[in-house]
Structures are given as structure tokens and as C-alpha cells.
């Protein structure tokens, strides 16, 4: 990516969202957040935007989805088994309490 390219409003919104996340995590004070957000809206290039988050860690990689075949079906079967066992125990309890 050419950092000398002009920044778009979408680029600016993305950086503000990153700054909000870092502020919520305690990495930035509210004053630092305010100062950086003001600088976001005056930034002209992607390089200027990158400089505002350079000292902050990159966001964590998203967790991989469980693409195991039949995974959803297995969970549904487990749920059904638990429900059936609960009904069986309830029936036994009701029969014994008569």
C-alpha cells in the first residue's frame, strides 16, 4: 500500500475505531484519545494516519472458525441427548414421588 495516498473518510473511521478500542483497553487516556482523533480528521495521507497508531499493538487475528464437517450436527445431537436424559430423569422422579 502506498502510504502517500490520500486518506478516505473510511480510513479515518477505521483509525478512530482502533483508537476507541485502545482507549477502552486502557492504552490511551481520554486526553490522548481526543488529541489523536483531532489529528485523524486533519490527516491527509495514509502515512499520517498510520503514525497515529504506530505505538499501539495491532489488533489480534480473528479466531479461526470451526469448519469441522458435522460440527453443528454434533452439537445438536448433544443438545437432544441432554434434553432426552432430562425428560427421562423427570419421568423417573415423578413415578417415584407418587
Q: Cβ neighbours of residue 16 under 8 Å, at least 6 residues apart?
A: 37, 40
Q: How many CA atoms lie within 13 A of 56 on its CB side?
A: 25
Tell me the pLDDT tens digit for each residue of 31-54. 999 999 999 999 999 999 999 999
Strand partners, 45: 6
Lowest average pLDDT, out of 12-16, 58-62, 74-78, goes to 58-62
Residue 53 near residue 19, CB atoms below 8 Å: yes
- The domain segmentation of the chain, as residue ranges, is 9-51
Q: Given this model, what pLDDT does residue 67 score?
A: 63
**CA separation for the pair 77, 84 (Å, rounded):** 10
pTM of the entire predicted model: 0.61
Give me the chain's average pLDDT, please. Answer: 88
70 confidence band (pLDDT: 50, 70, 90): low
Residue 26 has pLDDT above 80, yes or no: yes
Give the mean model confidence (pLDDT) for residues 77-87: 87
Give the mean model confidence (pLDDT) for residues 55-68: 76
Amino acid at each position: 500500500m502506498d502510504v502517500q495516498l490520500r486518506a478516505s473518510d473510511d480510513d479515518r473511521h477505521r483509525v478512530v475505531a482502533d483508537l476507541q478500542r485502545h482507549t477502552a483497553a486502557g492504552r490511551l487516556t481520554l486526553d490522548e484519545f481526543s488529541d489523536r482523533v483531532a489529528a485523524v480528521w486533519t490527516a491527509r495521507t495514509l502515512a499520517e494516519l498510520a503514525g497515529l497508531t504506530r505505538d499501539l499493538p495491532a489488533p489480534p487475528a480473528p479466531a479461526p472458525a470451526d469448519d469441522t464437517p458435522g460440527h453443528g450436527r454434533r452439537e445438536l445431537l448433544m443438545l437432544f441427548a441432554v434434553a432426552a436424559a432430562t425428560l427421562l430423569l423427570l419421568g423417573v422422579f415423578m413415578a417415584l414421588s407418587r
